[in-house]
Amino acid sequence: MQAREQLSLDQIQAFLKGSEEVVFEGRNREEVYGWVNQTLGQQRYGKLKRSGRGLVRRYLAKMTGLGRAQITRMVRLYQSGEEVKPKPYRRQRFPQRYTREDIALLAGLDEDHGVLSGPATRKLLQRAHYDFQDAQYQRLAELSVAQLYRLRKSTTYRKHGMVYQATRPTKVAIGERRRPEPGGRPGYLRVDTVHQGDLDGVKGVYHINAVDEVTQWEIFGATEQISEAYLLPVLKGILAQFPFRIRGSHSDNGSEFINHTVAELLNKLLIEQTKSRPRRSNDNGLVEAMRRPASVKWNLAEETGLLIPSQCENPLC
């Protein structure tokens, strides 16, 4: 919109009649408000009669594309003696009760006491103000537990005090971390699993090796996978082939042996379960270093899934 010469009321009425089907629209708020303020001043809106005021209002609505209520608010603002101009948007906010200094004070208290729970921290804030007469904690003494947790999530709190807690290891209550002590008696097995490897994208079998620590009696088994459905039948078959009573089973901390299913099986057979200690590589070194003789040929028994010595004399069998 650009400023033009002043129009009379008759010219405005003729314009409105000739442009009933035409719709106008302002480009931006500042331009529209400025043109409305200028037009009301040129027409001397406050001194016009009722018919003239209605004509000017219709003219303003036609040229700006604004609604009747918006034009009424602009005219009321002009008549109050103020300039018609857009007001900056102000977001409605709740009054801030706790200042940045209060949040920094809370962060310092949490740093000194190790970030206690909400009710315990609230008691500390109340004692600081009511018992020790510290005026800094006057507002924080009335802090609710819910608001306390909200303040801990604020950016100001994180800038003033961050308490980092190291990852706590998860304790698995399956097996005992110690080296087995057979005392010269057979029946204490060392168990380990070795993956044969992949060939052309096909997963190979898993070899399960169990060797007695005293007699060196060794039995191999093989399974397609080491999940519960595949591993348990092979493990049962291995334990059943030893010619003496099994008293203990020692393995590393792999999940194929350290799980509730295997622990339940060993507990049912009254077999003590132990596992390797951290930074003690020799705890299960016996079975990890075992290699089967190269001269012995092995076959996979279909009914048990175990590797057994072959009875064929032919090297190719």
Considering the chain, what percentage of its residues have pLDDT values greater than 70? 85
Distance between CA atoms of residues 86 and 32, nearest Å: 9
pTM assigned to the model: 0.42
Mean pLDDT of 181-190: 90
pLDDT in the model for residue 316: 33
Give 63 or 299, the one with higher predicted confidence: 63
HEC string of the chain equals: CCCCCCCCHHHHHHHHHHCCCCCCCCCCHHHHHHHHHHHHHHHCHHHCCHHHHHHHHHHHHHHHCCCHHHHHHHHHHHHCCCCCCCCCCCCCCCCCCCCHHHHHHHHHHHHHHCCCCHHHHHHHHHHHHHHCCCHHHCCHHHCCHHHHHHHHCCHHHHHHCCCCCCCCCCCCCCCEECCCCCCCCCCEEEEEEEECCEECCEECCEEEEEEECCCCCEEEEEECCCCHHHHHHHHHHHHHHCCCCCCEEEECCCCCCCCHHHHHHHHHCCCEEEECCCCCCCCCHHHHCCCCCCCCCEEECCCCCEEEECCCCCCCC
Q: How many CB atoms neighbour CB 181 within 10 A?
A: 11
CA distance 294 to 292: 6
Position with higher pLDDT, 94 vs 274: 274
From residue 34, how far is each of 17, 25, 42, 76 by CA, in Å? Answer: 25, 14, 12, 15
Give yes or no for residue 70 having a pLDDT over 80: yes
d(CA 95, CA 100): 14
pLDDT band at 4 (very low <50, low <70, confident <90, very high): low
Please name each of the domains of the chain with its CATH number.
9-79 (no CATH), 100-160 (no CATH), 176-309 (3.30.420.10)
pLDDT of residue 244: 92
CA 177, 181, 182: angle at the middle one, nearest 5? 135
> What are 106-157's pLDDT values in tens digits?
999 998 888 899 999 999 999 999 999 999 999 999 999 999 999 999 999 9
CB-based burial of residue 217 (10 Å sphere; 0-12 exposed, 13-18 middle, 19+ buried)? middle
Establish how many alpha carbons lie within 13 A of residue 8's alpha carbon, considering only the half-sphere containing its beta carbon.
2
pLDDT in tens, 30-46: 888 888 888 888 888 88
> Which distant-in-sequence residues (6+ apart) come within 8 Å of 53 by Cβ?
45
pLDDT tens digits for range 74-111: 898 888 888 888 887 777 777 888 999 999 999 999 98
pLDDT at 107: 92
Structure-block tokens of residue 275? 């596992």
Q: What is the predicted pLDDT for the residue at 63?
A: 83
Local confidence band at 309 (pLDDT 50, 70, 90 cut-offs)? very low
Burial of residue 110 (number of CB atoms within 10 Å: 0-12, 13-18, 19+): buried
pLDDT band at residue 162, thresholds of 50, 70 and 90?
Answer: low
Q: Are 163 and 225 in contact (CB under 8 A)?
A: no
Cα gap 209→250, rounded to integer Å: 12
How sure is the predictor about 25, in pLDDT bands with cuts at 50, 70 and 90?
low
CA–chain centroid gap for 201, Å, is 35
pLDDT range class, residue 26, cuts 50, 70, 90: low
The pLDDT assigned to 312 comes to: 40
**Confidence (pLDDT) at 310:** 46
Residue 23's pLDDT band, with cuts at 50, 70 and 90, is: low
Per-chain mean pLDDT for the chain: 81
Q: Per the structure block, which two tokens stand in for 264? A: 């339940």
Ranking 84-88, 169-173, 304-308 by mean pLDDT, the lowest is: 304-308
pLDDT at 215 over 80: yes
Identify the band that residue 293 occupies on the pLDDT scale cut at 50, 70 and 90: very low
Please name which of 5, 127, 12 lies closest in space to residue 59, comparing C-alpha atoms: 12
